Amino acid sequence: MVVISPDNDVVTGLIVQNCPPDKQQFLLDYNVGETERLIKHLPGFVSASFHKSLDGQRMTEYVQWRSLEHFQAARENPEFHAHIPVVAAVAQVEWDLYRVIGSVAASPPATIATTNDVLTVIVVLSGEPDKLAQAFDIAAGRTDSFIRHLPGFVSASWHRNRDGTRVAEYIQWRSRDHFQAFRANPDWSSHVQEVHALVHAEFSMYQLCHVTEAQPVQA
Domain boundaries, the chain: 2-213
pLDDT at 216: 67
Instruction: Write out residues in the chain with pLDDT < 70, as ranges.
Output: 216-219
Which own/partner pairs from 34-40 qualify as long-range (CB within 8 Å, at least 24 positions apart)?
Answer: 34/83, 35/212, 36/212, 38/77, 38/79, 38/80, 38/83, 39/74, 39/80, 39/212, 40/212, 40/213, 40/214, 40/215
pTM of this structure: 0.95
Report pLDDT digits (tens) over 171-190: 999 999 999 999 998 878 78
- Topology of domain 2-213, CATH: Alpha-Beta Plaits (3.30.70)
